[in-house]
Amino acid sequence: MKQSFYVYNNGEIRRKDNTLQFCTYEGEKRDIPIERISDIYIMSEMTFNTAFLNYISQYGIPLHFFNYYNFYTGSYYPREALLAGELLVKQVEAYKDKDRRLQIAQKIIDAASFNIYRNLRYYNGRGKDVSQWMNEIEDLRTRIYTTNTINELMGIEGNIRQQYYASWNVIVNQEIKFEKRVMHPPDNMINSLISYINSLIYSKTLSEIYHTQLNPTISYLHEPGVRRYSLCLDISEIFKPLIGDRLIFSLLNRKQITEESFTKELNFLHLKKEASKLIVRELESTLKKTIKHKELGRQVSYQYLIRLEVYKLIKHLIGEKEYEGFKMWW
């Protein structure tokens, strides 16, 4: 089974014969069987050359980069091997048609907000009184399909998340003042965790899209822009509550991540290396969890749910089946 490979130490990664080799600047070497790698995450200073890039491209391995502060900075995306011209045309046509674009975007927000509500319902049934925010979100959700523009829809989505984040002080069993989402840069440890974990989910989604025929730069909820894979943002919205937020609650409530996990003098902007590794281990464990898929009738992993979401969008674009965003049923 292929898996993600994370690099935390500074050094060089290169092709060695028919595999990869990572060398630290201190001279330690480690061979990495390329056939076992799905994607690579660079969390440190790294040197590599075109021979390395050409080699991982042959195997369709995306490369994701994070800076010193664990902020996602970009990806190396190998040449698409599966892109189909006819589907690309249909993807663009759906974006250009305002009604079709809005319909897809509404489905995404409907699913994302439903999964947010399920998170609150889960904790509300376990001694955390978040009913007031559940009621607010339930009311906001009724307005999703009354929107007439993407901007109006994004406004509803922003209000839902505002209510959702307001409940986190009740859900989290640590004394952390968390009032609103702040991203550029994060202003406390929860915002730092959200930014880091969301960027990992974004990268995972990009890797999954790569193995389909969709173009990751053409999106429907988020505006396509220069130098960003905006379709990843669309799809990630659906899975952040299931994969990211539940992981954050677990890490904080089990005290696996505390103030001591951060470099305090940097205003909680910088996760210590061991804390970052812990988060990645827990995320990978979450992605490997399986559920019995209602339609497929077999066990599928959380990570494969992301791939299935992309396939559903493809079926919608080619007119095979109307798209419905993934909603938790457990």
- What is 248-313 written as a DSSP string? HHHHHHTTSS-GGGEEGGGTT-EE-HHHHHHHHHHHHHHHH-EEE-TTT-SEEEHHHHHHHHHHHH
pLDDT band at 228 (very low <50, low <70, confident <90, very high): confident
Q: What is the dihedral of CA 322, 229, 185, 113, to 10 degrees?
A: 0
Instruction: Average the pLDDT over 293-314 and give the result.
Output: 95
The DSSP call for residue 143 is T
DSSP letters, 89-118, are: HHHHHHHHSHHHHHHHHHHHHHHHHHHHHH
**181 compared with 246, residue with greater pLDDT:** 246
Which tens digits make up the pLDDT trace of 17-39?
899 999 998 989 999 999 999 99
Domains, the chain, ordered by start: 3-61 (3.100.10.20), 85-317 (1.20.120.920)
pLDDT for 254: 95
What pLDDT was estimated at residue 149? 98
The average pLDDT across 128-151 equals 98
Please give the residue that has the higher pLDDT: either 77 or 52: 52
Spell out the alpha helix ranges (H) of the chain: 50-58, 85-96, 98-124, 131-141, 150-166, 168-171, 189-210, 230-239, 246-253, 273-288, 302-317
pLDDT at site 190: 87
**Per-residue pLDDT, 245:** 97
299-301 and 72-76 as β-strands: parallel, antiparallel, unpaired?
unpaired
Q: What is the pLDDT confidence band of residue 265, given thresholds at 50, 70 and 90?
A: low
Residues 6+ apart with CB under 8 A from 243: 201, 283, 286, 287, 302
Q: Which of 196, 300, 198 is nearest to 243 (CA)?
A: 198
What is the pLDDT, as a whole number, of residue 81? Answer: 63
What local confidence, expressed as pLDDT, does residue 189 receive?
Answer: 84
Which H or E run includes 59? none
Share of the chain above pLDDT 70, in %: 94
What average pLDDT score do residues 87-93 get? 95
* Average pLDDT over all residues of the chain: 92
